[in-house]
Amino acid sequence: MIVRLSGFAITELELIADYIARDNPQRAITFVRELREKCLSLVEMPFAFPLVPRFEAHGVRHRGYGNFQIFYRVKGDPPVQIDVLHVLHGARDYTSILF
């Protein structure tokens, strides 16, 4: 199965790294690596995480890691691809960002 990070998700990971790097450059590298690994590990159990309320019709799911939420969609039945849509801080209003 393929995991594809959207342009938004890639930019958001870069912004997360930049923010953390202000105080701890080494941790910025390791934390973003961990977030990417969590994205890639979605292939193991793509339906294990819940659908996002109000976005069920779009098939958008989310999993948390630290203070962040990874928003993704599974394509195909059986699943053939996972699209990581966004990686956002949990305090953000995701409803205005997802669609």
Q: How many domains does the chain have?
A: 1
Domain that holds residue 12: 2-98
At 99 the pLDDT is 72
At 87 the pLDDT is 98
Question: Residue-wise pLDDT tens for the chain (99 aa)?
Answer: 999 999 999 999 999 999 999 999 999 999 999 999 999 999 999 999 999 999 999 999 999 999 999 999 999 988 899 999 999 999 998 988 887
At 96 the pLDDT is 85
Q: What is the CATH number of the domain that holds 10?
A: 3.30.2310.20
- How many alpha carbons lie under 13 Å from residue 42 in its C-beta half-sphere? 33
Q: Is the pTM of this model over 0.85?
A: yes
**What is the enclosing helix (H) or strand (E) of 2?**
strand 2-5
At 52 the pLDDT is 96
Q: Show contacts of 71-79: CB within 8 Å, 24+ apart.
A: 71/98, 72/39, 72/42, 74/46, 74/47, 79/1, 79/46, 79/47
Token duo for residue 31: 């934390």
Alpha helices in the chain (DSSP H): 7-21, 25-40, 95-98
At 58 the pLDDT is 95
d(CA 41, CA 24) in angstroms, rounded, equals 26
